[in-house]
């Protein structure tokens, strides 16, 4: 009956070492216990040789993929056939599909019975067919049915002695095609119209930073002003931020106060944002840690008796609250505005390091200087003797300088700043080598509209952003 298997398509599993073969049965030799496949495939790849022969000792499992038509036409059931005399004992072959129309189930297992060699380790006692016959016919001499068979059926332990061949099954997949899709080498996939016309091309894969949703083009000029300051900046994301004249900036702050954003609230906002920037410049979490109390950074605040000075005092109070050693210079021989006095009263409750003379300032280099001496209203302040002496001390200290609300174009700048912090919208400035930053004052959008400014916030998730020359 070995000739009945000729022409059938089978899959032979030879274990991890040899792998899985598929092909058409060319011959079955009962004497030598071998089977030959023509046009074989090894692990899904066509073999370079036209025929491969296997020994029964190498075969772990044999499955039928297609049974040749002659067997089905003979009238015999292809699910129970005569052994081709090559399978070891206790192993089965399965038919996955049949070409005959009267076969009711194409996936039913085909059981092959063969006498195992003496001392074979693969023999597991009586076969399932023997247990089934003796147990259900009630023969007194037959073995008793196992409890698993009574509870779960006849084929409970079928195939449990064979491990699943992960490597053999993995070899059947086209890994190159899968990885090419993952890597995005197939850039575009086309949708073909039923008449053959390509109607659409779309990317089959996207990078992690690509948006798969269609969005409107970005408008980078989202802030327009009625009076231009003559210079423009741009943010890290490319948004354009124009400068405004000092008169327009002043009207903007006055409109904010009329809408409820008082000067005290603005001073607190500036103090928080400027102190946060200063803490970052001082080293942030790498410098200010509980284990580094012996190396606390030192900051000197140079403040004048005006609103700009009050902004610096507010910044110094927040820095002192974060365990920064702050020295505040504020002249006590000139008349101070009310806001300066209020901020000073809050500061001395946090830190008592306040000096009014240049000779009381630190003689050793400090970590950071914060300049708040200049005033937009009083242009003659920089000509006074005390101002010039403080400016000379600052230039000789050689510490990096952060200037808050710096002078506008045309005003004298005696202290060179490495960083400048503008408020709300930048003012035109003659400073060239300074890095410009912008602080969010929290002014509502409706307030900008009242002074003729079409405004969209450029800050995103931050309150202080860097600006670059456009």
Beta carbons of 20 and 42 less than 8 angstroms apart? yes
Q: Where is pLDDT greater, at 470 or 301?
A: 301
Which ranges in 307-413 belong to alpha helices (H)?
307-321, 338-348, 385-397
> At residue 132, does pLDDT exceed 60?
no
**Angle (nearest 5°) at CA 333 between 328 and 339:** 60
In this structure, the number of other CB atoms found within 10 A of the CB of residue 23 comes to 22
- Mean pLDDT throughout 54-74? 72
Q: How far is CA 121 from CA 90, 113, 117, in A?
A: 11, 16, 9
Q: Per-residue pLDDT for 152 more than 50?
A: yes
Q: What is the mean pLDDT of the chain?
A: 78
Average pLDDT over residues 65-69: 67
* Candidate ranges 95-99, 187-191, 394-398, 453-457; pick with highest mean pLDDT: 453-457
What local confidence, expressed as pLDDT, does residue 117 receive?
Answer: 44
Confidence band, pLDDT 50/70/90 cuts, at residue 108? very low
Cα distance between residue 161 and residue 389, in whole Å: 95
CATH 2.30.30.100 residue window(s) in the chain: 2-170
In the chain, residues under CATH classification 3.40.50.10260 are 232-469
DSSP state of 95: B
Residue bearing the bigger pLDDT, 154 or 235: 235
pLDDT at position 75 over 70: no
Find where tokens 């231009």 sit: 228
d(CA 227, CA 454): 12
Q: Does domain 232-469 have CATH number 3.40.190.80?
A: no
How do strand 325-329 and strand 298-303 relate by DSSP bridges? Answer: parallel
Pairing of strands 198-203, 368-372: unpaired
Give me the residue label for tokens 């790849």: 45
6 pLDDT band, cuts 50/70/90, is confident
DSSP 8-state symbol, 333: S
Q: CA 243, 245, 249, 251 torsion: positive or negative?
A: negative
Confidence of residue 134 (pLDDT cuts 50, 70, 90): very low
Task: Give the least confident one: 9-13, 28-32, 172-176, 270-274.
Answer: 172-176
Tokens 């063969």 locate to: 114
**Interhelix angle 263-281/338-348, nearest 10 degrees:** 50
Task: Give the chain's largest Cα–Cα span.
Answer: 124
Q: Which runs of consecutive H residues, i.e. helices, occur in 161-245?
A: 166-170, 175-183
pLDDT of residue 17: 83
Q: Which residues pair with 87 in a beta bridge?
A: none
Quickly state the pLDDT bin for 97 (edges 50, 70, 90): very low
CA–CA dist 255, 424 (Å, integer): 13
CA–CA separation, 33 vs 194, rounded Å?
54
The answer on pLDDT for 118 being more than 70 is no
Q: What is the CATH number of domain 2-170?
A: 2.30.30.100
Q: Which of 20-34, 83-97, 437-451 has the highest mean pLDDT?
A: 437-451
pLDDT at 161: 60
pLDDT band at residue 444 under the 50/70/90 scheme: very high
């Amino acid at each position: 009956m070995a000739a009945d298997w000729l022409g059938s398509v089978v899959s032979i599993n030879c274990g991890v070492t040899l792998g899985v073969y598929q092909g058409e049965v060319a011959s079955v030799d009962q004497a030598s216990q071998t089977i030959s496949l023509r046009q074989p495939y090894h692990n899904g790849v066509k073999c370079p040789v036209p025929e491969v022969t296997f020994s029964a000792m190498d075969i772990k499992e044999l499955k039928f993929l297609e049974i040749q038509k002659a067997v089905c036409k003979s009238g015999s059931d292809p699910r129970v056939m005569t052994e081709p005399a090559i399978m070891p004992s206790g192993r089965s072959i399965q038919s996955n599909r049949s070409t005959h129309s009267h076969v009711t189930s194409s996936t039913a297992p085909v059981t092959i019975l063969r006498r195992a060699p003496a001392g074979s380790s693969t023999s597991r006692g009586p076969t399932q067919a023997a247990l089934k016959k003796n147990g259900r016919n009630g023969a007194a001499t037959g073995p008793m049915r196992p409890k698993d068979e009574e509870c779960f059926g006849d084929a409970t332990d079928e195939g449990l002695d064979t491990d699943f061949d992960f490597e053999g099954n993995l070899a059947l997949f086209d890994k190159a095609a899968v990885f090419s899709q993952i890597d995005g080498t197939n850039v575009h996939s086309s949708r073909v119209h039923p008449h053959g016309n390509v109607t659409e091309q779309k990317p089959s894969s996207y990078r992690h930073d690509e948006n798969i949703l269609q969005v409107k083009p970005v408008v980078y000029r989202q802030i327009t002003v009625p009076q231009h300051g003559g210079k423009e900046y741009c943010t890290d994301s490319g948004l354009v931020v124009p400068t405004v004249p000092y008169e327009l900036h002043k009207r903007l702050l006055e409109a904010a106060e009329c809408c409820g954003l008082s000067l005290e609230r603005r001073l607190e906002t500036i103090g928080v944002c400027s102190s946060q920037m200063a803490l970052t410049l001082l080293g942030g979490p790498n410098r200010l840690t509980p284990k580094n109390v012996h190396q606390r950074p030192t900051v000197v605040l140079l403040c004048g008796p005006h609103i700009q000075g009050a902004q610096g005092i507010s910044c110094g109070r927040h820095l002192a609250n974060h365990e920064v050693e702050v020295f505040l210079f504020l002249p006590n021989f000139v008349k101070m505005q009310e806001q300066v006095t209020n901020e000073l009263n809050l500061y001395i409750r946090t830190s008592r390091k306040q000096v009014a003379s240049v000779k009381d300032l630190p003689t050793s280099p400090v970590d950071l200087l914060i300049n708040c001496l200049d005033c937009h209203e009083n242009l003659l302040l920089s000509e006074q003797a005390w101002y010039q002496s403080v400016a000379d001390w600052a230039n000789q200290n050689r510490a990096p300088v952060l200037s808050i609300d710096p002078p506008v174009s045309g005003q004298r700048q005696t202290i060179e700043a490495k960083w400048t912090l503008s408020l709300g919208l930048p003012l035109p400035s003659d400073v060239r080598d300074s890095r410009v930053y912008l602080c969010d004052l929290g002014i509502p959008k409706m307030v900008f509209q009242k002074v003729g400014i079409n405004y969209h916030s450029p800050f995103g998730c931050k309150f202080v952003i860097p600006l670059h020359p456009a």
